Structure 1
Amino acid sequence: MIKIYHNPRCRKSREGLAILEDANKAFDVIKYLEDQLNTNELKAIISKLGITPLELVRKNEAIWKSDYKGKTLTDAQIIEAMVKHPKLIERPIVINGDKAVIGRPPESILNII
Structure 2
Amino acid sequence: MTKIYHNPRCTKSRQTLALLEEKNEEIEIVEYLKTNPTKQEITELVSMLGIKPLELIRKGEKIFKEEFKGKEMSDAQWIDAMVAHPILIERPVVVKNGKAVIGRPIENVIDIL
Alignment TM-score > 0.5, same fold: yes
Identity of aligned residues (%): 53
Moved over 6 A (4+): none
- Residues 1-113 of structure 1 correspond to what in structure 2 (within 5 A)? 1-113=1-113
Where 1:4 maps in the other structure, the secondary structure is strand
Deviations 1:41-97 (A, max 9, x none): 110011000000000000010100110111110001101111100000000000001
1:16–1:107 CA contact under 8 A, matched in 2: no
Q: CA deviation at 1:27?
A: 1.2
TM-score, length-scaled by structure 2: 0.98
How far apart are the structure 1 equivalents of 2:37 and 2:24?
A: 27
Q: CA deviation at 1:102?
A: 0.2
Unaligned runs of 5+ residues in structure 2 are none
Where 1:33 maps in the other structure, the secondary structure is coil
Unaligned runs of 5+ residues in structure 1 are none
TM-score, length-scaled by structure 1: 0.98
How far apart are the structure 2 equivalents of 1:16 and 1:44?
A: 21
Where 1:5 maps in the other structure, the secondary structure is strand
RMSD across aligned positions (CA)? 0.6
